[in-house]
Amino acid sequence: MPTILTSSGVSVIFDPSAIFALAETDADSGDEVTCVYGILPAAMQIKDKVGDFLASLGIAGKFSQLTRPDGSKIWIRGNAVTYLTPPVSGDSPDSVNTIVGIGSFTQGVREDAGSAKAAINSSRDQDSRL
């Protein structure tokens, strides 16, 4: 299993298949830092850029890039997505057109449902397309 160093200097040995999303900014603070979702219970911040990190693990093709409501990018593992739904009125910013669900993790994205589905399917296994 590979090891990654968090931004705070903690060394984490992890299973790459546990990663279900990565973002280029912290959703809470808006800070520009790579956040990895799925390894630890909360987002793990690392110093590597998203593309470099995915490439180093050889898993870049398993992820689709979508756009968060604030315009920042999020990469989502296609096979991890369990549903797509329209946003609930009043629960999301106006810029959200689709909610991507991965178990209890949800992410609003700017892409419409058709575009989000196409992007996600491009990184899913052929026999498990949405």
Tens of pLDDT, residues 45-92: 999 999 999 999 999 999 999 999 999 999 999 999 999 999 987 788
pLDDT tens-digit map of 10-51: 999 999 999 999 999 988 888 899 999 999 999 999 999 999
Global confidence as pTM: 0.91
Judge residue 123's burial from the number of C-beta atoms within 10 Å of its C-beta, 0-12 exposed, 13-18 middle, 19 or more buried: buried
Structure tokens at 72: 């920042």
What is d(CA 115, CA 28) in angstroms, rounded to the nearest whole number? 26
What is d(CA 42, CA 72) in angstroms, rounded to the nearest whole number? 19
